[in-house]
Structure 1
Amino acid sequence: MEIEYVDGFPQPYPLMDAESYWQACARQELTYQRCTSCGQPCWPARSHCPDCGTRTLEWQRSAGRGTVYSFSTVGRGPTPAWQEIAPYTVGFVELEEGYFLFTQIDAPPESIAIGDRVEVAFIRRGRQMLPVFRPRG
């Protein structure tokens, strides 16, 4: 599958399992799947539960709050569009619902620490709204 770029930013692949996720992002809502059989959160989006194997997954809205689990600051972006916003920080956020999301952490790099409390916000990259996380008071 070829990567599509809009305004210099790569766009998400149109994967069927993740369609509901991207529709929610367009509405500035963060969603994830939870197994109705075993109760485990499932991320990334998929057609079956990785814990118990059933196909009884439902989409739920996340509260959008979590903590910084790990991060790295990018000093030189890989494309001209990313170079314009460098330095920027990406990392894993552990959401209160029990899953991890790889995302941009929208804060000055020197102010970010593992364990920081963060909350979701949405920004446009190309034609897609994407979740990013900002410090929570």
Structure 2
Amino acid sequence: MIQTQDGWPQPYQLLDARPYWEGLAAGLLKYQRCGGCGQAVWPAHSFCPHCSSDKLAWEVSAGRGKLYSFSTVMRGPTPAFAAIAPYTVGFVEMDEGYFLFTQIEDPPEMLKIGSDVQARMIERGGQKLPVFTSA
């Protein structure tokens, strides 16, 4: 992981996922869909993990889904994350049919598995990232 001047770790951007990161920079949440079987694909792949097709296309997500699971982190792993602890992370089952691991902004006592959530973009270390809150 690369760290920026303000201490936020930056993810290693794999080539298969370049359209995802470019989308985030433009304020868009993107994922892949297979032209062979129609399944949503995430994380990014060169071939569909469902049917092995190489007919993957990038689509823009509406940024809505349901909270699938969550956990509250009491001690951050880096100084930047420690500064915002406690914070909540979890999996969102996106309306398009894939799961995204992300930060959840609502207080943990307000969260309920299966509740509707909506993405919004934040910036950390010069990188736009999606976080979710109750819809």
Write the distance in 2 (CA, Å) between the matches of 1:41 and 1:31: 11
Aligned mates of 1:26, 1:110 — CA distance in 2: 32
Report deviation, 1:14: 2.4
- 2:2 corresponds in structure 1 to 4
Structure 1: gaps spanning 5 or more residues? none
Cα distance between partner residues in 1 of 2:42 and 2:96: 11
1:46 corresponds in structure 2 to 45
The alignment of Structure 1 onto Structure 2 pairs a total of residues equal to 134
8 Å contact from structure 2 (residues 67, 115) kept in 1? yes
SS class of match (2:83): helix
Report the TM-score when normalising by structure 2.
0.96
Q: Over the residues paired in the alignment, what is the CA RMSD in angstroms?
A: 0.8
Cα shift at 1:88: 0.5
User: Shift in Å at residue 79 of structure 1?
Assistant: 1.3
Match of 2:90 in 1: 91
- Give the CA deviation at 1:109: 1.7
In the alignment, which residue of structure 1 is the partner of 2:105? 106
Q: How big is each residue's C-alpha offset from its partner over 1:6-64, in whole Å with a ceiling of 9 and x where there is no partner?
A: 12111121210011000001111111000011100000001110011011000001111
Partner of 2:28: 29
- TM-score normalised by the chain length of structure 1: 0.95
Kindly state the Cα deviation for residue 125 of structure 1 after the two structures are TM-superposed: 1.4
**Residue 69 of structure 2 aligns to which amino acid in structure 1?**
S
Q: Structure 2, unaligned stretches of length 5 or more?
A: none
